[in-house]
Amino acid sequence: MMKDRNQYLELSVIFASNYSKIVDYCSFYVGSVEEAKDIAQDCFVNFWDRRVRYRNVPPETILFAMARNACLNYLKHKAVENRYCARILSEAKSEAESFERESSIYAELEILIRHGIEDLPDICRKVFELSFYDELTVKEISGRLGISVQAVYKSLDRAYQKLKKHLKSADFGV
């Protein structure tokens, strides 16, 4: 019992003296305080789970190294998501251009897409329109709508999935 209490106190001291510094550090990398908080919490959990390995190293050193690595992993993941979104957008634009050649099909598809966009939940629709029509970046959309970057990614993903399903139901072979 005494050992558990001492460990809890030790973690509390490490957390209290380092959490805000780690969040600020992560926020600088990822550009989002909410994501930075998540990363910082994960770092503390990982640190505590592996604390026996790090007995001879100051906690701050390990926590900042973990935070840096976690931020870099986060940014790599976001880069993959951005490439995916760009590819999907490029494919959608390319398909739209090919449909322009046959005006009747293009007009029908345009109406179908418009209906699909109108059927999207409000936030998904706003995010999609700002991304696709206004060609704003995820960060710009986040700032304009006052939502996190992660929420923008999730809304875009939801919008693409719903639109894809909507187009499939119309048998356009998407």
Q: What is the share, in percent, of the chain residues with pLDDT greater than 90? A: 41
33 located within any domain: yes
The CA–CA distances, whole Å, from 11 to 5, 44, 94, 155 equal 10, 9, 54, 37
Residue 165 falls inside a structural domain = yes
133 in any annotated domain:
yes
pLDDT at position 50 is 87
> Are both 10 and 55 inside the same structural domain?
yes
Say which CATH number the domain at 123 has.
1.10.10.10
Instruction: Read off the pLDDT of each residue in 148-163 and give the average, rounded to a whole number.
Output: 90
Q: Which of 56, 75, 94 is the last residue of a domain?
A: 75
Q: Domain range for residue 164?
A: 102-169
Q: What is the pLDDT of residue 107?
A: 75
Q: What is the CATH number of the domain that holds 12?
A: 1.10.1740
- Mean pLDDT over 24-30 rounds to 93
Does residue 112 lie in a domain region? yes
Query: 52 and 14 in one domain?
Result: yes
Same domain, 12 and 71: yes
- Please write the tens of the pLDDT for every residue from 93-150: 877 776 666 666 667 778 888 888 888 899 998 998 898 889 889 999 999 999 998 9
At 139 the pLDDT is: 92
Same domain, 67 and 129: no
CB 19 within 8 A of CB 46: no
Residue 67 in any domain: the answer is yes
Mean pLDDT of 23-46: 94
- Is 80 inside any structural domain? no
Kindly tell me the burial class for residue 134, based on how many C-beta atoms sit within 10 Å of its own C-beta (0-12, 13-18, 19 or more).
exposed
Answer yes or no: is 174 within a domain. no
pLDDT at residue 70 tops 60: yes
Indicate whether 91 belongs to any domain: no
**126 plus 165 within the same structural domain:** yes
| Residue 70 and residue 7 share a domain | yes
pLDDT interval class at 174 (50, 70, 90):
very low
Per-residue pLDDT for 6 more than 90? Answer: no
Among the residue ranges 60-69, 88-97, 133-142, the one predicted with the least confidence is: 88-97
How many angstroms separate the Cα of 85 from the Cα of each of 2, 89, 157?
53, 6, 8
- Residues 69 and 118 both lie in one domain: no
**Is a pLDDT exceeding 60 seen at residue 42?**
yes
**Which tokens sit at 12?**
């509390």
Burial class (CB within 10 angstroms; exposed 0-12, middle 13-18, buried 19+) of 29: middle
Higher pLDDT, 72 or 51: 72
67/110 same-domain check: no
Q: How many domains does the chain have?
A: 2
Report whether pLDDT(57) > 80: yes
